[in-house]
């Protein structure tokens, strides 16, 4: 009713003559803008979730944790502004956007405060750890286990994390979520970024209340559950609910892989339960490089297929019973049954961000069917985004949220644009024509989704699959028409122990999909590495894309300019010349030809791989060979290295015995050992072991006029997931 009131008021406002005091604002541009806004009034509500997301984004961009009253004050101020300007339509619209922005900021603050839990201060172990299995993720070797209510030797209860995640490689008893186990492990705090601006695992762990990660010595053994742990489980029904679904997930995954061994069974388990850990790395890499990795991540495609197939199957079954078909609303019954099935699939596959979005949209569509209402697709996705962000504001920063919503918004906008223009042309087609329309639809859908998600894939993964369209033309129909229907049949046969009858033909389709992935990934130039895009560039792309998709009139094309600027920011960004990890265990330098040289490719391989991806390099070389060192300006011995570039001399110190000689010639000293006061007093920039410990990974840009230094701690700011370390 409020939006409808705006429409009437704005229409009336656009027809009113302007008074003398308002003539200064009545230029052609102002009148044109007002007319366009009035014409687009049915799209105004779509911008409320956008403003909500922007409030969340601003919260996470701050360098310091704001006091809680900031968000509360913003919400109250916006509410007051709504009351003040309630008679001015444009004022009401702007004030509601401000209210949504403030609400997003407050939601992120509240969520951050709500999930706060102890985080391990430093590495400990080996230490005995006991706890309840909350999640069990099978891997090609062993499993990754998440424990809740952990108990640790030599650690007080008030400093014990709420959850720990431990990799177990050794064989042991068959474990299930809900079991109380005991094992011996080495634990450390969740690691921060490998480079300034890189993925921050510690932030994600904070919102998962994950306070430590590590690995086990030997296997795990079942243990007796403490009495106070039993009481805690009774007081946490949501945790018990989650554990029950995790147990069912693990049990079904084992049954699927037992009935269909090999890589096909691992992929079938991923599609049916969301557990991807058992898929061989070679197959995962082929799926990524062929642009088919989205088929292994449970998303809108899978949830939509499950819900749609259930709806059609239930409706056909009920229609076959004449007394029901004639006297009862079987369409509504089928919608309700499909909705329940989609919810079960959501919980079974782990309730990830893409599945939450897809389920919310499916739920709204089927609810509309049940209550005899029609649903608007763009509004569905807008409010689905609002619901996901309200429950988990931190999901805004995840690749899954960004890519999932980018794809679906772009597809809906393209459908809205083409429906009126091309829909009539394809009506009344024959069998061959309909087949052509289907193939063209798959190709168009894959192209639009690929273009919409490409900037986000570049930002998060620094790779682009050039032949993804060709691979999807084969793999998507195979998944939709063969693999997923057999998956549903397998679910239906599981209570009777006959799932192998459906898993066998499902495996044929999976082998075909994997063959396509390996073939396309093997084509020359199948993928390219791209340098990291700045965060500001990604924001420009996102806002430009939203502007392009949410509006309907030609002014939407202005969004293309913002998208172009965001993409160009990646080309304009200058990569660092020197990189070092937070413990000084790995150094990297950029040679004159732009290639990345590492002090070691066997130590801290994850950090080295992250640096390589962010620099857009296909591979990183070891700087050990003498010719590499000479070409890159490196001179090394057993105590350290000297790197010369752009008029600067960088000393990379491994041993304190090299400090005096290196400090005499260097303009920048990076030392993995402490530097005593006075030794390097003449050096403009000195980063020693304690600086690395406090600041984390560092990046350095060398220039003729000076050196720019950036640390992971500076980039992250002083936030709950990135507390300042003591001096």
Q: How far apart are CA 281 and CA 274, in angstroms?
A: 16
Q: How far apart are CA 562 and CA 549, in angstroms?
A: 13
Q: How far apart are CA 250 and CA 258, in angstroms?
A: 12
Establish if 482 belongs to a structural domain: yes
| Range of the structural domain that residue 185 is part of | 124-226
Same domain as 558, residue 692: no
Establish if 53 belongs to a structural domain: yes
Q: Please, which contacts does 496-504 make with residues 24 or more away whose CB atoms are closer than 8 Å?
A: 499/255, 499/256, 499/259, 500/259, 500/260, 503/256, 503/259, 503/260, 503/265, 503/268, 504/260
Establish if 246 belongs to a structural domain: no
Establish if 427 belongs to a structural domain: no
Establish if 256 belongs to a structural domain: no
What local confidence, expressed as pLDDT, does residue 629 receive?
58
pLDDT higher than threshold 80 for residue 631: no
What local confidence, expressed as pLDDT, does residue 8 receive?
37
The CA-CA-CA angle for residues 463, 572, 54, to 5°, reads 75
Same domain as 135, residue 102: no
pLDDT tens-digit profile of 452-510? 999 998 899 888 888 988 998 899 889 988 999 999 999 999 999 999 999 999 999 99
Same domain as 157, residue 101: no
Establish if 693 belongs to a structural domain: yes
| Mean pLDDT in residue range 20-34 | 60
* Token pair listed for 670: 């990076």
Task: Using DSSP, state whether 146 is helix, strand or coil.
Answer: strand
Distances (CA, A) of 101 to 90, 105, 107, 112, 546: 17, 6, 10, 17, 16
pLDDT higher than threshold 80 for residue 544: yes
Same domain as 704, residue 584: yes
Q: Band the pLDDT of 3: cuts 50, 70, 90.
A: very low
Q: Band the pLDDT of 628: cuts 50, 70, 90.
A: low
Distances (CA, A) of 367 to 332, 348, 361, 489: 9, 22, 10, 25
Report which of residues 434 and 398 the model is more confident about. Answer: 398
Last residue of a domain, one of 84, 114, 144: 114
Same domain as 611, residue 469: no
Same domain as 550, residue 504: no
Tally of structural domains, the chain: 5
Same domain as 646, residue 520: no
pLDDT higher than threshold 90 for residue 11: no
Same domain as 133, residue 69: no
Q: Which residues does residue 545 pair with via DSSP β-bridges, in sequence order?
A: none
Same domain as 590, residue 492: no
What local confidence, expressed as pLDDT, does residue 532 receive?
87
* Token pair listed for 220: 């795990």
Last residue of a domain, one of 90, 114, 138: 114
Establish if 241 belongs to a structural domain: no
The mean predicted confidence, pLDDT, of the chain is 86
| Mean pLDDT in residue range 509-523 | 95
pLDDT higher than threshold 70 for residue 230: no
Least confident segment among 129-143, 423-437, 467-481, 710-724: 423-437
- Is-cis flag, bond preceding 591, omega within 30? no
Predicted TM-score of the model (pTM): 0.87
pLDDT higher than threshold 70 for residue 15: no
Last residue of a domain, one of 94, 114, 134: 114
Same domain as 502, residue 369: yes
373: Cβ contacts below 8 Å, ≥ 6 apart:
none
Same domain as 335, residue 201: no
Same domain as 524, residue 539: no
Q: Band the pLDDT of 10: cuts 50, 70, 90.
A: very low
What local confidence, expressed as pLDDT, does residue 165 receive?
96
Establish if 286 belongs to a structural domain: yes
């Amino acid at each position: 009713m409020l939006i409808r009131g705006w429409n009437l008021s704005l229409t009336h406002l656009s027809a009113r003559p302007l008074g003398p005091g308002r003539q200064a604002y009545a230029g052609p541009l102002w009148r044109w803008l007002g007319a366009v806004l009035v014409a687009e009034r049915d799209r105004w509500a779509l911008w409320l979730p956008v403003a909500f997301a922007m409030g969340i984004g601003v919260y996470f961009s701050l360098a310091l944790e704001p006091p809680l009253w900031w968000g509360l004050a913003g919400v109250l101020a916006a509410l007051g502004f709504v009351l003040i300007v309630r008679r001015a339509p444009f004022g009401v619209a702007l004030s509601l956007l401000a209210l949504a922005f403030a609400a997003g900021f407050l939601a992120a603050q509240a969520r951050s405060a709500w999930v706060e839990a102890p985080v391990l201060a430093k590495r400990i172990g080996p230490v005995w750890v006991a706890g309840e299995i909350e999640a069990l993720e099978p891997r090609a070797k062993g499993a990754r286990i998440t424990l809740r209510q952990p108990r640790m030797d030599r650690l007080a209860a008030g400093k014990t994390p709420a959850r720990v995640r431990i990799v177990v490689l050794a064989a042991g008893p068959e474990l299930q979520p809900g079991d109380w186990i005991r094992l011996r492990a080495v634990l450390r705090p969740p690691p921060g970024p490998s480079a300034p601006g890189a993925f921050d695992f510690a932030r994600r762990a904070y919102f998962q209340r994950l306070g430590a990660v590590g690995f086990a010595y030997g296997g795990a053994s079942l243990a007796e559950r403490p009495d106070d742990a039993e009481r805690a489980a009774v007081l946490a029904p949501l945790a018990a609910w989650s554990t029950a679904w995790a147990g069912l997930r693990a049990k079904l995954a084992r049954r699927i892989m037992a009935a269909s061994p090999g890589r096909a069974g691992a992929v079938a388990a991923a599609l049916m339960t969301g557990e991807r850990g058992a898929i061989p790395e070679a197959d995962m890499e082929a799926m990524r490089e062929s642009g088919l990795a989205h088929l292994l991540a449970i998303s809108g495609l899978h949830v939509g297929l499950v819900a749609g197939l259930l709806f059609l199957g239930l409706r056909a079954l009920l229609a076959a019973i004449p007394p029901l078909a004639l006297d009862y609303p079987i369409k509504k019954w089928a919608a309700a049954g499909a909705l329940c099935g989609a919810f079960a699939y959501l919980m079974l596959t782990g309730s990830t961000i893409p599945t939450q979005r897809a389920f919310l949209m499916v739920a709204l569509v089927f609810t509309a069917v049940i209550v005899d209402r029609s649903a608007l697709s763009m509004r569905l996705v807008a409010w689905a985004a609002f619901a996901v962000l309200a429950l988990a504001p931190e999901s805004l920063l995840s690749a899954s949220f960004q890519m999932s919503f980018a794809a679906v918004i772009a597809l809906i906008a393209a459908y809205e644009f083409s429906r009126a223009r091309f829909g009539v042309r394809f009506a009344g087609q024959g069998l061959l024509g309909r087949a052509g329309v289907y193939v063209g639809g798959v190709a168009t859908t894959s192209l639009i989704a690929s273009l919409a998600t490409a900037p986000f894939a570049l930002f998060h993964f620094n790779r682009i699959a050039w032949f993804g369209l060709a691979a999807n033309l084969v793999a998507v129909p195979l998944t939709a028409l063969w693999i997923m229907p057999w998956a549903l049949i397998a679910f239906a046969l599981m209570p009777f122990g006959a799932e192998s009858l459906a898993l066998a033909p499902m495996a044929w389709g999976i082998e075909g999909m994997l063959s396509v992935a390996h073939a396309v990934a093997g084509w020359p130039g199948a993928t390219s590495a791209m340098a990291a895009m700045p965060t500001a560039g990604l924001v420009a792309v996102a806002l430009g894309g939203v502007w392009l998709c949410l509006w309907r009139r030609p002014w939407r094309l202005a969004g293309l300019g913002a998208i172009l600027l965001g993409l160009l920011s990646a080309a304009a960004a200058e990569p660092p010349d020197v990189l070092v990890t937070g413990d000084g265990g790995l150094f990297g330098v950029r040679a004159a030809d732009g290639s990345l040289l590492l002090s070691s490719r066997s130590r801290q391989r994850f950090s080295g791989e992250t640096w390589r991806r962010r620099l857009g390099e296909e591979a990183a070389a070891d700087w050990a060979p003498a010719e590499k060192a000479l070409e890159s300006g490196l001179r090394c011995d057993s105590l350290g290295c000297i790197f010369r570039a752009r008029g600067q001399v960088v000393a990379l110190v491994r041993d304190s015995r090299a400090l005096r000689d290196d400090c005499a010639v260097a303009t920048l000293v990076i030392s993995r050992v402490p530097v005593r006061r006075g030794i390097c007093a003449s050096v403009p920039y000195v980063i020693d072991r304690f600086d690395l410990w406090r600041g984390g990974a560092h990046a350095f840009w060398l220039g003729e006029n000076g050196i720019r230094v950036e640390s992971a701690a500076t980039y992250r700011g002083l936030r709950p997931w990135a507390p300042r370390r003591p001096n």
